């Protein structure tokens, strides 16, 4: 009897027909099958030897030998007849195998019944046949087959007994019931385990897909912030400068040319940002060296205008920061100054970096028209609509906070606090 291919089947519902036991194939099942097949041939050989020793020279001996050989050949030829492929039939790919298993098993049982009638000692071969029936048939037909085999075992043992023995009447059904219940229980437990494993695999795949989607969305948001804080702001500054140059072109050509030169410088900086953006998404100001302090000083100088000077100040002792923190603080400064330039109507702005032991604080202050922080519109809806949510998202991504102090006509102070990892204390010597 061959092992069948593994087939996924759910645990049987109450009252439903369990899947054929042959649908299960694993190393343990193969080991059990090998034991049962070996037991069958050992019992068949022992029964034949017992008959030959106890009944030498009887006329029925040739028939016993022939039927024993036929039973052994039928049992061996089971794989060629597709007897162990009902699982494939259940999948819709082995209909021929399902139709062949019943005739094959019927032939095996018929030959065995004839042997038992002629020589009751062959009744012990029923035990491996129990297993064969459970493996190759659905539950209900298998139970009917086991009941028939058990009845013949009882009858055969009754014929061999010299007197009435209750064990001969009750022991075979009890053994058959125990074996059947144990086998069915194991099969159902295996089905439940397969269901659980399938659920775990499916959950793991869904979790991986969810993580990929979340990663994609996070990366998309990060790219949107990078574009907003670099390229978009540069383009906005260029537009304002070119519009200003156009307004004064005839009346003050020198000032107009100054605006154009400033716009060209911003365009050059935006081009460097774009190239850096394509390369590794690092701000170009940081790539020029000097760390965060030098980069913020360059940003302040670049954003300064005659009508809006930007002052930069450092408090405390700057220390080396993670690249991600430096890039985020630089982008926050760029975004905050862009908001001041476009919306505040300010005449002065200040950029302050405060270096503490456990956190680093960036303040962006202006003396502009101010606003009510609670009335800031959502991202993309207008004034201060995208810059502030972007700044808050950057700060939150680093475990930091954003606070805004502002009121109409009283200017604005934007403060971002980023916690720093605690320094590792040196091990005592």
The DSSP result for 414-428, as a single string, is EEEEEE-PPPPPPPP
Crossing angle for the helix pair 95-118 and 126-136, to the nearest 10 degrees: 160
**What's residue 143's pLDDT?**
80
At residue 359, the 3 state secondary structure works out as strand
Please give the tally of structural domains in the chain: 2
The C-alpha atoms of residue 71 and residue 300 are separated, in whole angstroms, by 97
User: What are the strands, taking DSSP E only, across 181-336?
Assistant: 310-315
**Where do we find the tokens 């014929």?**
159
> Which structure tokens are listed for 254?
């020198």
Four-point Cα dihedral 411, 416, 336, 397, nearest 10: -150
Alpha-carbon distances, residue 260 vs 124, 264, 267, 300 (angstroms)? 105, 6, 10, 19
The C-alpha atoms of residue 417 and residue 395 are separated, in whole angstroms, by 8
**What's residue 11's pLDDT?**
41
CATH number at residue 414: 3.30.565.10
Crossing angle for the helix pair 253-279 and 291-303, to the nearest 10 degrees: 150
The C-alpha atoms of residue 275 and residue 56 are separated, in whole angstroms, by 100
The phi, psi pair for 418, rounded to 5°, reads: -120, 120
**What's residue 104's pLDDT?**
80
Q: Which helix (H) or strand (E) holds 332?
A: helix 323-339
**Where do we find the tokens 């494993």?**
197
109 inside domain: yes
The C-alpha atoms of residue 364 and residue 372 are separated, in whole angstroms, by 17
Answer with the one of 105, 132, 160 that is the final residue of a domain: 160
Answer with the one of 113, 143, 160 that is the final residue of a domain: 160
The C-alpha atoms of residue 170 and residue 36 are separated, in whole angstroms, by 24
> Which structure tokens are listed for 167?
């064990």
110 inside domain: yes
The C-alpha atoms of residue 85 and residue 385 are separated, in whole angstroms, by 67
HSE value, Cβ hemisphere, 13 Å, CA-based, for 317 = 2
Average pLDDT, the chain: 75
Tens digit of pLDDT at every position of the chain (429 positions) = 333 333 333 444 433 444 443 333 456 667 777 777 788 888 888 888 888 888 787 888 888 888 888 888 888 876 555 444 333 333 333 444 445 677 887 888 888 888 888 887 787 777 777 777 777 777 778 788 888 887 777 777 777 666 666 766 676 777 777 777 777 777 788 788 888 898 888 888 888 888 778 776 776 776 777 677 667 777 787 888 888 888 888 888 888 888 888 888 888 777 777 766 655 555 667 767 778 898 899 888 888 888 889 999 999 888 888 888 888 898 888 888 888 888 888 899 999 999 988 899 999 999 988 888 877 654 444 434 457 888 888 888 888 999 999 888 888 999 999 998 766 555 555
* CB-count burial class (<10 Å; 0-12, 13-18, 19+) for 141: middle
291 inside domain: no
CA–centroid distance for 23 within its chain? 28
79 inside domain: yes
**What's residue 349's pLDDT?**
92
> Which structure tokens are listed for 149?
């085999």
User: What are the strands, taking DSSP E only, across 113-230?
Assistant: none
88 inside domain: yes
Alpha-carbon distances, residue 48 vs 71, 123, 177, 261, 330 (angstroms)? 12, 11, 27, 110, 93
The C-alpha atoms of residue 233 and residue 231 are separated, in whole angstroms, by 6
The C-alpha atoms of residue 85 and residue 15 are separated, in whole angstroms, by 24
Full domain range(s) for residue 313:
305-421
Each as own residue / partner, the long-range contacts of residues 425-429 (CB below 8 Å, 24 or more positions apart, any chain) are none
Q: Which helix (H) or strand (E) holds 335?
A: helix 323-339
**What's residue 357's pLDDT?**
86
Answer with the one of 160, 178, 204 that is the final residue of a domain: 160
Alpha-carbon distances, residue 232 vs 3, 260, 267 (angstroms)? 67, 18, 11
Alpha-carbon distances, residue 243 vs 247, 249, 260 (angstroms)? 6, 10, 10
């Amino acid at each position: 009897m061959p092992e069948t291919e593994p087939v996924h089947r759910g645990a049987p519902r109450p009252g439903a027909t369990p899947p054929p036991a042959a649908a299960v194939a694993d190393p343990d099942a193969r080991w059990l099958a090998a034991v049962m097949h070996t037991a069958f041939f050992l019992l068949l050989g022992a029964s034949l030897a017992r008959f030959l020793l106890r009944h030498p020279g009887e006329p029925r001996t040739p028939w016993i030998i022939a039927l024993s050989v036929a039973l052994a050949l039928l049992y061996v030829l089971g794989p060629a007849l597709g007897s162990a492929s009902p699982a494939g039939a259940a999948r819709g790919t082995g209909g021929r195998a399902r139709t062949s298993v019943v005739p094959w098993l019927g032939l095996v049982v018929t030959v065995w019944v004839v042997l038992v009638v002629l020589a009751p000692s062959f009744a012990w071969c029923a035990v491996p046949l129990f297993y064969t029936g459970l493996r190759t048939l659905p539950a209900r037909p298998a139970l009917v087959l086991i009941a028939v085999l058990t009845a013949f075992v009882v009858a055969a043992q009754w014929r061999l007994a010299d007197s009435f023995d209750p064990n001969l009447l009750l022991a075979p059904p009890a053994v058959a019931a125990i074996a059947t219940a144990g086998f069915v229980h194991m099969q159902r437990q295996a089905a439940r385990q397969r269901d659980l494993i399938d659920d775990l695999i499916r959950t793991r795949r869904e979790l991986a897909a969810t993580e990929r989607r979340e990663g994609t969305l996070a990366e998309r948001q990060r790219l949107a912030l990078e574009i907003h804080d670099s390229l978009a702001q540069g383009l906005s500054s260029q537009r304002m400068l070119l519009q200003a140059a156009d307004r004064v072109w005839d009346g003050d050509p020198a000032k107009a040319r100054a605006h154009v030169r400033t716009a060209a410088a911003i365009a050059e900086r935006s081009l460097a940002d774009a190239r850096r953006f394509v390369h590794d998404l690092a701000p170009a100001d940081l790539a020029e060296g000097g760390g965060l302090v030098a980069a913020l000083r360059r940003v302040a100088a670049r954003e300064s205008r005659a009508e809006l000077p930007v002052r930069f100040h450092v408090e405390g002792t700057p220390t080396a920061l993670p690249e991600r923190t430096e890039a985020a603080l630089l982008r926050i400064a760029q975004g905050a100054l862009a908001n001041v330039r476009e919306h505040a109507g300010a005449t002065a702005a200040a950029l302050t970096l405060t270096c503490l032991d456990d956190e680093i604080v960036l303040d962006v202050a202006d003396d502009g028209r101010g606003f009510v922080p609670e009335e800031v519109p959502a991202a993309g809806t207008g004034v201060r609509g995208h810059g502030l949510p972007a700044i808050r998202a950057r700060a939150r991504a680093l475990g930091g906070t954003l606070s805004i102090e502002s009121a109409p006509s009283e200017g604005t102070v934007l403060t971002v606090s980023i916690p720093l990892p605690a320094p590792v204390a040196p091990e005592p010597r």
